[in-house]
């Protein structure tokens, strides 16, 4: 949806990346007028407006007044025909359907068509179908949804009965336990602040082919998880030349970037003008995951960005937990694109410190009790692991590193090599080599990785080597 040559959105295809469907219009004429830099007005009636904040959308801004006659303009919304040159339709309409047992698909098609046409609504703006749970196995209803590729949401009678509707029926309530199926189901699926655009319409088929009711509700937020994707991107240590090809591709394909501001700043040279950037706050990781997942459920491809590797103390875990909480049919695509971790970068800078068994332990007790961290440190010391310590210190935490040092000293020599690695692969990079006995808390901060060798780790000059055998017993003297 982006014209890289002009740095502008391509009006005839940008909506696809937002999960929208193209509607009626002279698309060729619209694209031609845009290419000729003609003035072009925009009228957006529904769907997310966040895309308008991107640099590439500068020429597609809402009309400030009456539309000039004869000039091309673009409509974004749920109506089918507005007089616009072309139409984009966000998935914001929910069809509430009720039917008699064994109602045929043709009857359901007819009631849907009549309901949409009565209000000038676009079928391309339909997000899905909703009904009573006992209707979830109706063949005609399932065939309708399959034919149009509309997802089906079902609700219990109690859930529907709790929703105020204008046309409830006591007869229906006695039969199925709720005074409304069509209207209540449409409003329930459309969610908070939904509007009922079309009250229930009834269509009866001929020759005992059944009867159906339909109502249409407008949702505040689009919903098209089948068109969306959530990509967890590990951005590596920060230098763009350390970004993996898979991570770079995921960033390029995304409509929206979500992440902690300083991490996004390092990637800014790669962001296209059409890509929206949403900066999060440190400590609000759960909120970032929820924001990214909500956008993906709207039909967008979203890059949720961590530094290092998303799967190592990153956002892959909390994002996956949120994603798994959704019903399976409501999940967008989900993928994790690994990045180079601080541990890997440190190993590369130091040469060969991880040639034998090693472990990674975070000293932050914000989410893990210190007693548990202490047990892990004791086990690592007893097992003679090379130990990588993440989050060694913060403004509030200063004692943990010294206790970790004490625990490790109980099982290995004070001369054990230690590497203090700060801001790896960034302009501020600094690596300090010291020993376990000399390690102090004032030597580190939250941007530091501390790598503690095992009993066999040796230092020579600026290199660390942990032998593993394989003919590596040639003596490497400690420096």
Q: Indicate which CATH number applies to the domain containing 323.
A: 3.40.1010.10
Q: Do the domain assignments include residue 476?
A: no
Q: What is the pLDDT of residues 141-169, one digit of tens each?
A: 999 999 999 999 999 999 999 999 999 99
Domain count, the chain: 4
Mean pLDDT of the chain: 92
Does 255 score more than 60 pLDDT? Answer: yes
Per DSSP, the residues of 161-212 read HTS--TT--HHHHHHHSSS-SHHHHHHHHH-TT-EEEEEEEEEE-STT--EE
Q: Do the domain assignments include residue 478?
A: no
Contact 230, 333 (CB under 8 A): yes
Residue 55 exposed, middle or buried by CB count within 10 Å (0-12, 13-18, 19+): middle
- Residue bearing tokens 């009549």: 114
Over residues 60-79, the mean pLDDT reads 85
Q: Which are the contacts of 325, defined by CB distance < 8 A and separation ≥ 6?
A: none
Residue 379 and residue 160: Cα distance in Å, rounded? Answer: 55
Q: What is the pLDDT of residues 179-230, one digit of tens each?
A: 999 999 999 999 999 999 999 999 998 876 899 999 999 999 999 999 999 9
Q: What is the per-residue pLDDT for 254?
A: 97
Where does the pLDDT of residue 469 fall: very low under 50, low under 70, confident under 90, or very high at 90 and above? low
Q: What is the per-residue pLDDT for 276?
A: 95
The CA-CA-CA angle for residues 105, 107, 110, to 5°, reads: 110
Rg (CA), the chain: 29
Q: What is the per-residue pLDDT for 479?
A: 43
Shared-domain flag, residues 120 and 13: no
Q: Do the domain assignments include residue 473?
A: no
Q: Which are the contacts of 99, defined by CB distance < 8 A and separation ≥ 6?
A: 107, 108, 135, 138, 140, 141, 210, 211, 212, 213
Q: Do the domain assignments include residue 471?
A: no
Does 470 score more than 60 pLDDT? Answer: no
**CATH number of 108's domain:** 3.30.420.180
Shared-domain flag, residues 245 and 232: yes
Q: What is the per-residue pLDDT for 316?
A: 97
Does 478 score more than 80 pLDDT? Answer: no
Least reliable range by pLDDT among 33-47, 88-102, 363-377: 33-47
Residue 236 and residue 468: Cα distance in Å, rounded? Answer: 27
Which candidate, 15, 204, 34, places its Cα nearest to that of 106?
A: 204
Over residues 303-309, the mean pLDDT reads 96
Q: Do the domain assignments include residue 109?
A: yes
Q: Tokens for 402?
A: 């010294």
Shared-domain flag, residues 370 and 452: yes
Q: Do the domain assignments include residue 328?
A: yes
Shared-domain flag, residues 121 and 169: yes
**CATH number of 430's domain:** 3.30.950.10
Q: What is the per-residue pLDDT for 94?
A: 99
Q: Which long-range contacts (CB under 8 A, 24 or more apart) does 437-440 make?
A: 437/409, 438/414, 439/401, 439/405, 440/402
Residue 180 and residue 169: Cα distance in Å, rounded? Answer: 6
Shared-domain flag, residues 335 and 366: no
Shared-domain flag, residues 424 and 333: no
Instruction: Give strand pairing partners of 155.
Output: 132
Q: What is the per-residue pLDDT for 477?
A: 46
Over residues 89-114, the mean pLDDT reads 96
Which ranges of 240-361 does DSSP label H, i.e. alpha helix? 245-253, 261-267, 285-297, 316-325, 342-350
Shared-domain flag, residues 97 and 209: yes
Q: What is the per-residue pLDDT for 5?
A: 55
Q: Which long-range contacts (CB under 8 A, 24 or more apart) does 271-277 make?
A: 272/2, 272/4, 272/56, 273/2, 273/7, 273/8, 273/54, 273/55, 273/56, 274/1, 274/2, 274/9, 274/14, 274/17, 274/51, 274/54, 274/55, 274/56, 274/57, 275/54, 276/50, 276/51, 276/53, 276/54
Share of the chain above pLDDT 70, in %: 96
Shared-domain flag, residues 425 and 375: yes
Over residues 257-286, the mean pLDDT reads 93
Residue after which a domain boundary falls, among 340, 372, 396: 340
Expressed as residue numbers, the domain containing 164 is 93-218
Residue after which a domain boundary falls, among 89, 106, 126: 89
Shared-domain flag, residues 261 and 322: yes
Q: What is the per-residue pLDDT for 6?
A: 62
Does 61 score more than 90 pLDDT? Answer: no
Q: Do the domain assignments include residue 477?
A: no
Residue after which a domain boundary falls, among 218, 246, 278: 218
Q: Do the domain assignments include residue 137?
A: yes
- SS3 at position 156: coil
Q: What is the per-residue pLDDT for 7?
A: 73
Q: What is the per-residue pLDDT for 36?
A: 85
Q: What is the per-residue pLDDT for 354?
A: 97
Shared-domain flag, residues 377 and 336: no
Instruction: Give strand pairing partners of 203.
Output: 212
Over residues 75-99, the mean pLDDT reads 95
Residue 102 and residue 138: Cα distance in Å, rounded? Answer: 7
Shared-domain flag, residues 105 and 61: no
Strands (E), 292-427: 301-306, 333-337, 351-352, 358-362, 386-390, 417-422
Contact 128, 219 (CB under 8 A): no
Shared-domain flag, residues 458 and 350: yes
Where does the pLDDT of residue 476 fall: very low under 50, low under 70, confident under 90, or very high at 90 and above? very low
């Amino acid at each position: 949806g982006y014209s890289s040559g002009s740095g502008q959105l391509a009006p005839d295809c940008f909506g696809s990346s937002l999960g929208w469907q193209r509607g009626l219009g002279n698309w060729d004429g619209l694209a031609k007028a845009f290419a000729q830099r003609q003035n072009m007005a925009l009228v957006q009636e529904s769907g997310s407006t966040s895309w308008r904040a991107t640099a590439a959308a500068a020429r597609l801004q809402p009309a400030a007044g009456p539309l000039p006659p004869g000039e091309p303009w673009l409509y974004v919304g749920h109506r089918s025909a507005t007089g616009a040159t072309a139409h984009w339709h966000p998935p914001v309409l929910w069809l509430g359907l009720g039917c008699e047992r064994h109602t045929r698909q043709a009857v359901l098609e007819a009631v849907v068509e009549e309901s949409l046409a009565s209000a000038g609504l676009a079928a391309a703006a339909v997000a899905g179908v909703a009904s009573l749970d006992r209707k979830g196995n109706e063949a005609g209803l399932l065939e309708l949804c399959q034919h149009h590729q509309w997802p089906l949401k079902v609700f219990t009678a109690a859930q529907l009965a709790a929703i105020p509707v204008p046309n409830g029926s006591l007869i229906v309530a006695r039969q199925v336990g709720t005074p409304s199926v069509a209207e209540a189901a449409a409003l329930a699926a459309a969610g908070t602040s939904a509007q009922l655009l079309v009250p229930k319409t009834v269509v009866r088929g001929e020759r005992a082919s059944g009867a159906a009711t339909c109502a249409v509700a407008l949702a505040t937020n689009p919903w098209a998880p089948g068109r969306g994707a959530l990509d967890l991107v590990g951005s590596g240590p920060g230098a763009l030349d350390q970004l993996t090809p898979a991570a770079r591709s995921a960033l390029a394909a995304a409509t929206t970037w979500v992440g902690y501001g300083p991490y996004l700043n390092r990637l800014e040279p790669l962001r296209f003008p059409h890509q929206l950037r949403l900066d999060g706050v440190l400590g609000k990781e759960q909120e970032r995951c929820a924001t990214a997942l909500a956008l993906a459920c709207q039909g967008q491809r979203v890059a949720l960005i961590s530094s290092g590797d998303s799967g190592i103390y990153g956002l892959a875990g909390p994002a996956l937990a949120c994603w798994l909480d959704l019903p399976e049919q409501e999940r967008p695509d989900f993928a994790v694109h690994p990045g180079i971790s601080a541990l890997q970068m440190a190993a590369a800078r130091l040469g060969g410190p991880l040639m034998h068994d090693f472990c990674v332990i975070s000293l932050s007790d914000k989410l893990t009790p210190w007693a548990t961290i202490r047990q892990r440190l004791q086990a690592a010391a007893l097992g003679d692991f090379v130990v990588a310590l993440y989050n060694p210190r913060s403004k509030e935490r200063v004692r943990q590193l010294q206790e970790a040092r004490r625990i490790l000293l109980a099982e290995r020599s004070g001369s054990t090599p230690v590497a203090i690695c700060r801001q790896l692969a960034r302009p501020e990079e600094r690596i300090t080599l010291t020993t376990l006995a000399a390690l102090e808390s004032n030597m580190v901060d939250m941007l530091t990785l501390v790598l503690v060798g095992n009993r066999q780790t040796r230092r020579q000059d600026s290199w660390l080597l942990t032998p593993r055998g394989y003919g590596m017993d040639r003596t490497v003297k400690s420096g």
